[in-house]
Structure 1
Amino acid sequence: MNPHTHFLQLARYNVWATRRLLDAVTQVPEADYRRDVGLFFKSIHGTLNHLLVGEHFLWFSRFAKGASPTVALDSEVEPDRERLAQALKGGAANWLPLIESWPAERFDGVLSYTTMRGQPATLPFAATLAHVFNHGTHHRGQITAALTALGRSCPELDLVYCLQEEARA
């Protein structure tokens, strides 16, 4: 599989899984949504904010603009629940045209950026992009575990379900 096909597939999955998760989260009462349920970023809200910070403020800026903003990984960048959901959905969709714009040889290169500690870093481009999508999957999994612990239903987010849905469409 060529890199465009692979990473566009991961970006489509990211959009699909983000939307499905956020649809399930809308059913969670405010107190449970903001309650410390033992996640690394405490609450569902805290974990969603972390996804916005990591995936969109940091990594998207690094890949799209060559910028390395400084923002704490546990920042509450969007306190409003609905605006946070919209920012996550829009941010996930932004990866598709970005990935499409890259020439194939870009995936064989490196990504140079500045870490949160101000240190220069250079990593393999494709592997680092894979990290972005893997990171989102990790934290969505944490949120589905929290939903289950709260007695809520949670969506099936496995990639194969996304692929099956795409195949039917």
Structure 2
Amino acid sequence: MHATHHFLTLARYNVWATQRLLDAVAAVPEAGYRQDVGLFFKSIHGTLNHLLVGEHRLWFRRFAEGVSPQLALDAEVETDRAALAQALRAGVARWAPLIETWPAERFDGVLAYTTMRGTAASLPFAATLAHVFNHGTHHRGQITAALTALGHASPELDLVYLLQEEASR
């Protein structure tokens, strides 16, 4: 599989899984949504804010614009849960159009950026892009565990379910 096709699959999965997760989170009352349930970013809200910061306000800008904003990974950039969900939906929708603009050889290159500590870094482009999508999967998994712990239904988010849905269409 060509790298472009692989990463477009991951971008579609990111949209699909984020939407399913946000639909499930919508059923959680405010107290549970903001409760410290032992996640790295404490609550469902804190973890969703981290996804917005990490994936969309930091990594997307590094890949799309070549800039490295200095943001705290635990910053609460959106206090309102509906606005946060909307920002996440909009953010995940931006990856596929960006990936489609890159020539095939871009995936064999490097991503030069500045770390959160201000240090210059240069990493393999494709592997670093894979990190972005893997990072989202990791934190969505944490949130599904929190949903279960809070007594709510947890959506099935395995990539294979998206692939099965697409194959049946």
Report the TM-score range of the alignment, normalised by the length of the smaller protein. Answer: over 0.9
> What is the aligned-residue identity percentage?
79
2:5 and 2:35 map into 1 onto residues whose CA distance is 39
Secondary structure of 2:113 counterpart: strand
1:35 aligns with 2:14: no
Q: Residues 130-169 of structure 1: CA distance to partner in whole angstroms, max 9, x if unpaired?
A: 0000000000000000000001101000000010111112
1:4 aligns with 2:41: no
- Unmatched runs of 5 consecutive residues or more in structure 1: none
Q: TM-score, normalised by structure 2?
A: 0.99
- 2:151 corresponding residue in structure 1: 151
Q: TM-score, normalised by structure 1?
A: 0.99
- 1:141 corresponding residue in structure 2: 141
Residues matched between the structures, number: 169
- 1:92 corresponding residue in structure 2: 92
2:5 and 2:131 map into 1 onto residues whose CA distance is 17
2:15 and 2:77 map into 1 onto residues whose CA distance is 20
Secondary structure of 1:56 counterpart: helix
1:125 aligns with 2:110: no
Secondary structure of 2:121 counterpart: strand
Give the superposed CA RMSD. Answer: 0.4
Q: Residues 57-113 of structure 1: CA distance to partner in whole angstroms, max 9, x if unpaired?
A: 000000000000011000000000000001001100000100000000000000000
2:139 and 2:65 map into 1 onto residues whose CA distance is 24
1:68 and 1:18 map into 2 onto residues whose CA distance is 24
- 1:64 corresponding residue in structure 2: 64
Opposite residue 69 of structure 2, the aligned amino acid is P
- 1:45 corresponding residue in structure 2: 45
Q: Which runs of 4+ in 1 moved over 2 A?
A: none
1:71 and 1:5 map into 2 onto residues whose CA distance is 31
2:55 and 2:166 map into 1 onto residues whose CA distance is 24
1:147 and 1:99 map into 2 onto residues whose CA distance is 32
